[in-house]
Amino acid sequence: MTSRRSFLKRIGIGFPAFSLLGLASFSSKAQEPHFGSDNQKAAIKPVVLSTWKFGFAANEKAWEVLNSGGRALDAVEQGVQVSENDPKVTSVGLGGLPDREGKVSLDACIMDEKGNCGAVAYLQGIKNPIRVARLVMEKTPHIMLAGKGAQNFALSQGFSLENLLTEESKARWEKWKLESNSDSNPDKPEINVEDHDTIGMIALDKNGDLSGACTTSGLAWKMHGRVGDSPIIGAALYVDNEVGAATATGKGEAVMKSLGSFLIVEFMRQGMSPQEACEKAIRRITERQPDAKEFQVGYLAINKQGETGAYSIQKGFTYNAFDPNRKEQNTSGHRFETAIRTY
């Protein structure tokens, strides 16, 4: 079996660089990547990546599915539901922070290895928008349903209406209302920079197939009716089973302007590594959007070989990476001013 060090040499990455990529903590029982007789690099699989600290629990659920040979699509759908169902995660599903009128509205999308996709936008009263998005994909001729139509479709599929505004989220909204003057400040939703945000999850299964899911309650205190990037295929999520997958978190408006996830997949198609593709897509925002210092966007990517990348505008973007050799939480911190990446 090829040694790890010689494997790194063969793929052109010295050990220090490999550490920088956040991949250094192989356990002693780690499976060694190996080469076939044609000297092709064997894919690392399965792999699952998700955004933010709370995504660790979601990854564990997804890992159960992947490790038992399940489909990446099932893994991501079941994984992100862990966050949707957790009232303490105040940016996804139940317990999500509301808009400025106190209404919780959810956005989600899902995409499989065949390029099928489904999405819901501005969905109210339904705890698991990702399940509804999958049903839109599988049971309708459409890709996205929004608002009342999305809710009616969910009810027709056996979902029930629930109050998603928990006491804690309601109290935070009431405090925000007291402290802010939303009428004179209509464009200032809460921009999360730290460890509480949308969950985006992308996975490569044992069969070598990619899928992804993204689900959120969106920016806290957003204008009523606002829809972000999270249900937009190509913006917050894109999967191309020939190339790779990418997902986004952060200020949706910035991601939508550059269709970040699609851009990353296209960069990987041109030969960039997932890390290079994430960095270049972040630069597309920082170079073109003059207010980029004011907000956060974070990207994750996987390619068909199971290599991963992560990058963000600001420090503090936490993500979770599971593969046969690691179960880790990392921070991809880009110091905007100096363009130095720190892990």
- The yes or no reply on residue 44 touching ligand SD4 (CB under 6 A) is no
- Interaction pattern, residues 240-279, with ligand SD4; x per rule: CB under 6 A: ---------xxxx---------------------------
When the beta carbons of 7 and 295 are compared against ligand SD4, the nearer one is: 295
Report the candidate in 125, 164, 162, 120 with the shortest Cα–Cα distance to residue 139: 120
- Report the nearest approach of ligand SD4 to the CB of residue 266 (Å): 20
Return phi, psi of residue 331, to 5°. -120, 125
Q: Which of residues 191-220 bind ligand SD4 (CB under 6 A)?
A: 192, 197-198, 216, 218-219
CA distance to 110, 117, 123, 325, 336, per residue, from 143 (Å): 10, 6, 14, 36, 36
Q: Which residues are annotated as catalytic?
A: 198
**Residue 96 is a binding residue for ligand SD4 (CB under 6 A):** no
User: What is the residue-wise DSSP string for 112-161?
Assistant: -TTS-EEEEEEE-S-S-HHHHHHHHHHHSS-SEEEHHHHHHHHHHTT---
Q: Taking CB under 6 A as the rule, which mask of x and - marks residues 220-239 in contact with ligand SD4?
A: --------xxx---------
CB contact set of 227 (below 8 Å; sequence gap of 6+): 107, 121, 122, 146, 218
At its nearest, how many Å lie between ligand SD4 and the CB of residue 60? Answer: 21
In terms of Cα–Cα distance, which of 306, 111, 103 is closest to 214? 111
CB nearer to ligand SD4: give 215 or 275.
215
The reply to whether 99 sits near ligand SD4 by the rule CB under 6 A is no
Residues that bind ligand SD4 (CB under 6 A): 192, 197-198, 216, 218-219, 228-230, 249-252
